[in-house]
Amino acid sequence: MSIFSKKQPKSKNENKKIKEATKEIEEKNEEKEVKQSTEKERAVTLNNKNILLIKHPQVTEKSQLAREFRQYVFNVTREANKSEIKKAIEQIYNVNVEKVRMINVPAKKRRAGHSVGKKSGYKKAIITLKEGQQIEVIPQK
């Protein structure tokens, strides 16, 4: 003789209301799942390789003039290629890259008196962004 053994019969209106409420909750949950899946697709996690590919932005007078044309200059590792740089910039700065150009700056000989040395070369990437996008390389106050 327990209290919970028998369920009380509900009216038809109550059953309809319960069904409608559960449908609404299910629809909301489905919408949330769709939103979360698209956000997960957009937000690609940064892996260490992408972060390490880009050393730093190159801030010179010439690179600042190139900003008018949506172009930004970065020093990158020697092993990096265009597709890797494009993915890294898109992930780090959350922008759309239109084009990547790579320049291999060769090493140069330098003299200091009798001794001859070498200034190491480097690789730089010129990134062109799509229309209406920009990167804040130098933070403005």
Token pair listed for 80: 């990096």
Q: Which CATH superfamily is domain 48-129 in?
A: RRM (RNA recognition motif) domain (3.30.70.330)
Across the chain, mean pLDDT equals 82
The answer, yes or no, to whether residue 46 has pLDDT greater than 60, is: no
Q: With contact defined as beta carbons under 8 Å apart, do 92 and 140 qualify?
A: no
**pLDDT in the model for residue 43:** 47
pTM: 0.63
**pLDDT in the model for residue 44:** 46
Name the least confident of 49-53, 79-83, 115-119, 131-135: 49-53
More confident position, 2 or 44? 2
**What string of H, E and C letters represents the secondary structure of the chain?**
CCCCCCCCCCCHHHHHHHHHHHHHHHHHHHHHHHHHHHHHHHCCCCCHHHHHHEEEECCCHHHHHHHHHCEEEEEECCCCCHHHHHHHHHHHHCCCEEEEEEEEECCEEEEECCEEEEECCEEEEEEEECCCCCCCCCCCC
Tell the residue number behind the tokens 């690789």, with chain if given: 123
Q: With contact defined as beta carbons under 8 Å apart, do 100 and 86 qualify?
A: yes
